[in-house]
Chain A
């Protein structure tokens, strides 16, 4: 059980990054279906940064902890941010259709990731780099099951939770959050109230992409312990599902991501089920999401709905 819960949290954090990033983007009224591609590129960017840094050292084993983490996280966020910039430029400035742009971004992102990973990244260094990312508190092992479940993770897990809490606080308690929600609900009204709609949309699309990108880095460096795997994009789709499941609330998404993590690994963790039953269990997160989507739309409470202008581009001179 302890192993199961630890695993659920460990995988869930991948979704948490993607989900919080997507929530921030969607709150600005932009449905970014490029999240799967952005997460892949985030993973690629982090690996590229880390491997370049370690490759530049005379002895890769002497990498400094702080510097390595910083380079990994920043380069991951940087590359994911560039993807976000492409998306933002096309959908905000050029007013392209958001669904279409997002899907193209996913195609482009997975391609770019694969190309760079094959050509430019020394993958043999990743396993070593991973040991830095997975380093946990030294006393975690001494605290029994509590320490095992909550304290045995690498630093990115706590960064993810911190980001989610900050995002929740930002959205609900600050003036910036209020303005952002206004932009997502009704940009014309926000514009009339003197909010710089374009700046808000750009800022939160970029921040959202950078946060989501770190999810890819986490998945490779921490969850997979530095072994490379294609298929981050399928986790990206789950992160988008998680946004609905948690009703566009970053604080709920912390718990929600652990639930999704549990549902995802349940198929491997429950003893004595057949391979076929495993497949049915894998369906569960999606079915749960659909049910949540239906129930919230039937109940129709304003707080649980998607932002009203989600998916629509804003042009000031439109009536």
Chain B
């Protein structure tokens, strides 16, 4: 057995390599492919499960999301709220503090707000009550996030499990309080402020404005503030942070206090501004969805706004478009579609960080194939161009040259160059 054969036997077909870095354009291109793959899979699924062709399917989805003024308002409201959750967890996530407790923190904010409304509404003027509601919401959210943060900072307690458990403690606490307040056992509290707090006669405008301001604020906080820099360093490497004199414990607790404070504010928006009451599921599980949003947007608040919009589009499109149109009784199909889209996008994130490095002989073949393909398309351009006249034929030869050049640049290796040469010979 000669060396060649041994090499062939033991070297795998390809191995995975980290990319040195990838341009933003290429990264978004890869994500775009991910979404495209998701769309194809969803279309196939829709065809099998609902017997719907893709155009009707996605048409109904658009209709469900944007069909009426009311639906557009709902879209904006849900996007704002989901984005609020995502803005709250983004500083923590950037610090690699896996805050899975946004649901609980928002709930505690809403809870504190409702306590204020329950005991004080109608007794003191609204001008005093509303600031009080905001302050207590923010404080409650802050407290609920700071508890795991303190233990993480001092004892390195696992934060993802801790914050996860705090969700359910908050939920039970709210259920308990509602049953105390409403002893008839219905388990639901009628709105204390009917219709919520309205600005320009619309309960959604205030939340949307606040979240929009918050998005810009968070963008600059992470991008240019000293605190934003500190928390990024702590996330990258605690040892480095300690070495350059950052007080890691302080940064962890401070960041989570901010995270919780925003959660508390979202809680205020949900209970004080919009519904005027509370229920244990007022967070609609957005705390988990927001984690996905934050992750897919690579912690950039402006991109998060776009991703949140996309998520809500799928959600609402399914809920008020697909569900009635195809006579579905549950949210099940919406969850399946959401899951598939996320899976695809998540899987394609891989290609942004890593790339395949093929075995040398495989790469040779691939390059030869690529070069051939490029040659062909260039030749095609050339023949088309010559019919147009002399000037065009110049550009055609340029294109052909380019194709050769591109082949060379990508090869880098001798073997691949040989392949191009071979192709050249063939042409002669």
Contacts and interface: CB of A to CB of B under 8 A. Distances in A.
Contact of A290 (B155, B162, B333, B339): B162
Interface stretch (A107-115, A140-148, A157-165): A107-115
A203 interface: no
Contact of B100 (A94, A99, A306, A318): A99
Given A298-B155, A300-B155, A315-B18, A115 B339 contact: no
Contacts of B333: 111, 115
A115 B166 contact: no
A100 B291 contact: yes
Q: Say whether chain A's binding surface is mostly helix, strand, loop, or mixed.
A: helix
A265 interface: no
A99 B155 contact: no
A293 B161 contact: yes
Contacts of B165: 241, 286, 289-290, 293
A111 B151 contact: no
A298 B292 CA distance: 31
Nearest to A89: B347
A86 interface: yes
Contact of A294 (B151, B175, B332, B334): B151
Interface in B330-388: 330-336, 338-340, 342-343, 346-347, 349-350, 353-354
Interface in B162-201: 162, 164-166, 168-169, 172-173, 175-176, 179-180, 185
Contacts, number: 150
Given A101-B346, A244-B161, A283 B330 contact: no
B161 A283 contact: no
B172 to A, nearest CB: 4
A279 interface: yes
A290 B288 CA distance: 20
Nearest to B162: A293
Contact of B161 (A114, A118, A240): A240
Given A293-B158, A317-B17, A237 B164 contact: yes
Contacts of B18: 315, 317-318
Interface string A95-131: 1110111011111111111110011000000000000
B237 interface: no
A177 interface: no
A306 B162 CA distance: 13
A293 B157 contact: yes
Q: Say whether chain B's binding surface is mostly helix, strand, loop, or mixed.
A: helix
A103 B98 CA distance: 13
Contact of B185 (A115, A275, A315): A275
B172 A282 contact: yes
A111 B336 contact: yes
Contact of A104 (B16, B17, B339): B339
Given A95-B354, A100-B292, A107 B335 contact: yes
Interface string A29-50: 0010100000000000000000
Contact of B160 (A94, A276, A311): A311
B291 A115 contact: no
Contacts of A293: 157-158, 161-162, 165
A118 B156 CA distance: 45
A127 to B, nearest CB: 22
Contacts of A276: 176, 179-180
A297 interface: yes
B286 to A, nearest CB: 12
Nearest to B151: A294
B316 to A, nearest CB: 16
A107 B339 contact: yes
A110 B336 CA distance: 8
Contact of A95 (B295, B335, B350): B350
Interface string B1-43: 0000000000000001110000000000000000000000000
Contacts of B158: 244, 293, 297, 306, 310
A3 interface: no
A319 to B, nearest CB: 11
Nearest to B294: A100
A113 B110 CA distance: 31
A318 B18 CA distance: 9
A199 interface: no
A108 B342 CA distance: 9
A280 interface: yes
A114 B176 contact: no
10 contacts: A90-B343, A94-B350, A95-B353, A100-B346, A108-B343, A109-B339, A111-B333, A282-B172, A310-B158, A317-B16
Interface of A: 31, 33, 86, 89-90, 94-97, 99-101, 103-115, 118-119, 237, 240-241, 244, 275-276, 279-280, 282-283, 286-287, 289-290, 293-294, 297-298, 300, 306, 310-311, 315, 317-318
Interface of B: 16-18, 49, 98, 100, 151, 155-158, 160-162, 164-166, 168-169, 172-173, 175-176, 179-180, 185, 288-289, 291-292, 295, 329-336, 338-340, 342-343, 346-347, 349-350, 353-354
